[in-house]
Structure 1
Amino acid sequence: MAWSIYQARRWIVNEGNGKGLVQGVFDAAVVWEESDVLLFHRRLAAEGSSGPGVYCVQPAIEGVPFEAVYRDGVLTEASALSSRLGRRNVLGSLKTILTVPLKVERESLYGKAPEKMVVGGVVYLERKALRVLNADRERRGDSLYPDASSAGADLFLAGEARHSARVPFNVFFSLIRVPDDGASLPSSLYDRLLQLQGWGFRVNRPCMRLCRSIEEVLGACAEICEKRSELPYDITGVLIQPDVVASDGWKEEGSGDTGPVLIYALGPEPGSARPA
């Protein structure tokens, strides 16, 4: 039987040193220790869930996770998850972000886009934008946002489209699902992200890594940790996913199993408090 992320969650929390679970576009087990990344790899290898042991690695960006539905190339639905507000319809707000395609050309040099597809990613604020936003709030005597997630929850999730349109939100897309109706996608997650980019979706190409061994995964984690202060956005850790996509798992409401997902949470930057 295939190993689901729910089994991964139970195993890491019970047997490893996991500190929690992130729920959003996908369910991701969260660990702080390098040894737990190795345990994750060994368990996947034992279950045959990681294919040849190749992983797609990229930063886990601080922000609001979302899913969007495209039908016949047109953005028709969008929702986001919040622990405080639950699932919210964010179609209007998402349409105000300039880097979100409102329409996708179904015929292109990068292949034919599926008739129906769900794409997911994260809405975020760059550090500079958050500083400007907080400076304006301070002048008005309002409370400051401690991080991009708090700002996103208030202005993107809870706010109206006319409010979020005034905030320079940006997005990165990190997944795609299609229904089981004959539509086909590459079996490689990395190749899927490149195809998404070809269709006009913004992916984190500069920071994406295709790692062909667990040693390369750990090296990519170390590189991202070392350069995190140079990134224009805040990150919570490193997103680690097997490159082989076993199943699209798409359902009409846009939910589905994306396979095992791990977030290797990075230690705090100098001068900041470690998350509880």
Structure 2
Amino acid sequence: MNLQEAEKLIAELSEQIRYHNKKYYDEDAPEIDDAEYDALYRRLENLEAEFPELVKPDSPTQTVGGHALAKFSPVTHTVPMESLHDSFSEQELIDFDRRVRAVVQDPVYIVEPKFDGLSVSIEYRDGVLVRGSTRGDGTVGEDITENIRTIRTVPKKLKEPIPFLEVRGEVYMSHKVFFELSAMQELNGEKTFKNPRNAAAGSLRQKDAKITASRKLDIFVFNVQQINGVELSEHDEALKFLKNLGFTVPPFFTRCNTIEEVIAEVRRIGEMRGSLDYSIDGAVVKVNSFAQRRMLGSTAKFPRWAEAFKYPPEEKQTKLLNIEVNVGRTGVLTPTGVFEPVMLAGTTVSRATLHNQDFISEKDIRIGDTVVLRKAGEIIPEVVSVVSHAPDSVPFVLPNTCPSCGAPVVREPGEAATRCTNPECPAQLLRHLIHFCSRDAMDIDGFGPAVLEQLVSSGLIASPADLYTLTEEQLISMERMGKKSAENRLNAVEKSKQNDLYRLVYALGIPHIGLKAAKLLAARFGSIDEIFRASEEEIATIDGFGEIMARSVRQFFDLPNTAHLIGRLRDAGVNLTAMSQGAKDLRFAGKTFVLTGTLPTMTRSQATEIIEKFGGKVSGSVSKKTDYVLAGENAGSKLTKANQLGITVITEEDFEKMIQ
């Protein structure tokens, strides 16, 4: 490879790595796994070693990957939070030892697990926590003090009033908590985190500390960054000191006198990582003596006194015995592979998700195949590739009907998921009930996820309509449910019968129909019976509706299960008509309003509600499609643009005349 070719390839690799750094560090949404990233990074390192004249100061090999996000205040680290250089073979550890011994005599090493989470700094003054921050780019991080305070294992006050102390640790989410969070996210129809590391990082960088607190994060503290008032000379001494102050330090760390002992300990940690309830992606080897660390110093990016050993993802071949199709709580059909059991990362694996039809088709996965399995993030089994097909095998295709209830399934254009269309499908009952009772839907107070789960598991409800047949005796029979609580819940159910039609339409959980679309649908047709009779073409004429939304509504109301559910709700006395007169008076149908400035007697939200009630639409910007601009005092650029385009400008007085 000549210099010009190397320069071009280095630029391409650098751009790829920066992109993946942004996805991993800043967005907590990696698109490739650690092994793929490490391969890219190592390739760039090797090229730069071969062509040192092409190394630039802003190369990914010379800088830490993350950046401080604008939503948090920046924190400049007095002591840089350096990254670690990675080794991928035992020979590279031997090379590290040789480099260390070229500078210092008889080094002693500490070997500890390399935790896979988010690196943070925590500062204390006089023993009291004063600030927490992320690593960021190593020099500037983000102030996340309030979020750090929510982690129960972070001491808010130390056992000794140290004048000043800054520690470094890794915030993580245990596997148990990760699986609980994933189940709840799935239940709520939310996007799940890819692995515990992403979950920890995403949870710690929330603007609302209450969300962080609910995620049950944890931390291991493993470094003293700065300290005043106490002299420490060795790393293992510092770890014991931190533990005595109340910190949670690495649960195991080993003192080694030779590189052979280091390698033996690295192997031991690798063998046990599958049994841990937290993720580790390697082991860290550190020179124990702080004096020797100062002699060794650092490169532009890495300390020369430490090395990270990254474990390669363990991959094994096995046979795919069957593909089971299950229906998740959101109605999504999920294919699961059943394999001949194989040991991976310390545990026996016999099942793994195959995600969706696209994943199966892309890899051409068939029953009877010999496949390669590995654990993503060391905890989640996945199929890497197909080695060979069995004789007479055929491509696998998801069924056309739901395995749980037999209803037709649908896959919308542009979506990977295949979903059951039945609103009363038993497999997704709990999720439907939670949505049905939520505040923006039927707003039935007292029926949260825990209560609904009890009702479903006890067989008391199998449909949203069953909420309206519950009795006081049935509720009292539930765990921790008294007479008064039962009465309050039944009153909430009774009250919900009087809700406006749009709430029920939204509560039905029609695919692609959110709260705003439900309001438009209810306003346009006025009753559930009229929606049943409406054609797809009529629905598509609603301003703001598209072809996909109209088809989704029509398909939903064509289902026999929908008619059955609505019939039961009608019998229970649930209101099925739009309450406001505006549902029939569509004087603003097809008209678009823009609001600007301060109105004399009404708020913008009140004016918006009136416009929508009469079938109109409110937009946030002025364009040629705008019909009216309702302007109040201190109207700004929107009024100027309206005048330029010749759009009708009205006052609140004009507006009141229009709605009389």
C-alpha change, 1:99 and 1:233, in structure 2 (3 Å) is same
Which structure shows the bigger proportion of residues in strand conformation? 1
Aligned pairs for 1:66-85 within 5 A:
66-82=120-136
TM score, norm. by length of structure 2: 0.35
SS state of the match for residue 27, structure 1?
A: coil
Query: How many Å apart are 1:259 and its aligned residue?
Result: 5.7
Q: Which of residues 140, 144, 149 in structure 2 aligns to 1:90?
A: 144
CA contact (8 A) 1:53 1:214 kept: no
Instruction: Find the counterpart in structure 1 of residue 166 from structure 2.
Output: 118
User: Aligned match of 1:45 in 89, 101, 106?
Assistant: 101
Residue in structure 2 matched with residue 28 of structure 1 by the alignment: 84
Counterpart amino acid of residue 132 in structure 1: E
Q: Is the 8 Å Cα contact of residues 84 and 303 (structure 2) preserved in structure 1? A: no
Matching of residue 194 in structure 1 with residue 250 in structure 2: no
The residue aligned with 1:110 is none
Deviation at 1:22, TM superposition (A): 6.5
d(CA) in 1 for partners of 2:293 and 2:92?
26
Find the partner of 2:192 among 114, 125, 144. 144
- 1:54 paired with 2:108, answer yes
Q: Using the alignment, how far apart are the partners of 2:86 and 2:231 within structure 1?
A: 28
Instruction: Give the conservation status (yes or no) of the 8 Å contact 2:174–2:277.
Output: yes
Write the distance in 1 (CA, Å) between the matches of 2:121 and 2:99.
29
Q: Distance in 2 between matches of 1:149 and 1:203?
A: 18
In 1, are the aligned partners of 2:287 and 2:293 still within 8 Å (CA)? Answer: no
Deviation at 1:258, TM superposition (A): 6.3
Give unpaired runs (5+ residues) of structure 2. Answer: 1-41, 51-59, 67-80, 295-300, 315-343, 345-372, 378-660
1:75-224 alignment to 2 at 5 Å? 75-82=129-136, 87-106=141-160, 114-178=162-226, 183-205=229-251, 207-224=252-269
How far apart in 2 are the matches of 1:88 and 1:226? Answer: 35
- Shift of the 119–87 alpha-carbon distance from structure 1 to 2, 3 Å rule, reads same
Higher helix share: 2
- Choose which of 374, 379, 399 in structure 2 pairs with 1:272: 374
Secondary structure at the counterpart of residue 41 of structure 1: helix
> How does 1:244-255 map onto structure 2 within 5 Å?
244-246=289-291
Instruction: Give the match for residue 229 of structure 1.
Output: 274
The AA in structure 2 aligned to 1:146 is K
Quick one: higher RCO (CA 8 Å, sep 6+), 1 or 2?
1
Number of the residue aligned with 2:566: none
Q: Answer with 1 or 2: which has the greater Rg.
A: 2
- Label 1:125 to 1:168 Cα distance change in 2 as closer, same or farther (>3 A): same
1:37 CA displacement: 0.7
- Counterpart of 1:28 in 2: which secondary structure? coil
Q: CA deviation at 1:152?
A: 1.8
1:248 and 1:146 map into 2 onto residues whose CA distance is 37
Q: Aligned-pair distance for 1:72?
A: 0.6
Letter in 1 for 2:374: S
Distance 1:208 1:99 in 2: 19
Which residue matches 1:252?
none
Deviation per residue, 1:17-53 (Å, 9 max, x gap):
xx978768432001211111110110011022xx522
SS for the counterpart of 2:112 is strand
SS in 1 for 2:374: coil
**Alignment-mate amino acid for residue 117 of structure 2:** G
Structure 1 pair 64–200 and aligned structure 2 pair: CA distance change class (3 A): same
Amino acid paired to 2:143: N
Q: Is the 8 A contact 1:178 1:248 kept in 2?
A: no
Q: How far is the alpha carbon of 1:105 from its aligned partner? A: 2.9
- Which residue type is aligned with residue 264 of structure 1? F
SS in 1 for 2:291: coil
Q: How many angstroms does 1:267 deviate by?
A: 1.6
Q: Following the alignment from structure 1 to structure 2, what is the Cα–Cα distance between the partners of residues 268 and 53?
A: 30
In the alignment, the residues of structure 1 paired with residue 114 and residue 285 of structure 2 have an alpha-carbon distance, to the nearest angstrom, of: 9
Between the aligned partners of 2:303 and 2:164, the Cα distance in structure 1 is 17
Quote how far apart the aligned CAs of 1:159 are: 4.1
When residues 118 and 258 of structure 1 are mapped into structure 2, their CA distance, relative to the original with a 3 A threshold, is: farther
Give the CA deviation at 1:210: 1.1
Identical columns (%)? 26
User: What's the secondary structure of 1:187's corresponding residue?
Assistant: coil
Describe the shift of the 1:247–1:97 C-alpha distance in structure 2 as closer, same or farther (beyond 3 A): farther
Structure 1 unmatched ranges of 5 or more: 1-9, 107-112, 250-255
Q: 1:240 aligns with which of 282, 285, 301?
A: 285
CA contact (8 A) 1:74 1:102 kept: yes
TM-score norm. by structure 1 comes to 0.79
Q: CA RMSD in A?
A: 3.0
Aligned residues of 1:240 and 1:263 also touching (Cα < 8 A): yes
Aligned mates of 2:127, 2:65 — CA distance in 1: 27
Instruction: Tell me if structure 2 keeps the 8 A contact 1:238–1:263.
Output: yes
For residue 97 of structure 1, give the secondary structure of its aligned residue in structure 2: coil
Q: Which residue number in structure 2 is paired with residue 7 of structure 1?
A: none
TM superposition shift of 1:71: 0.6
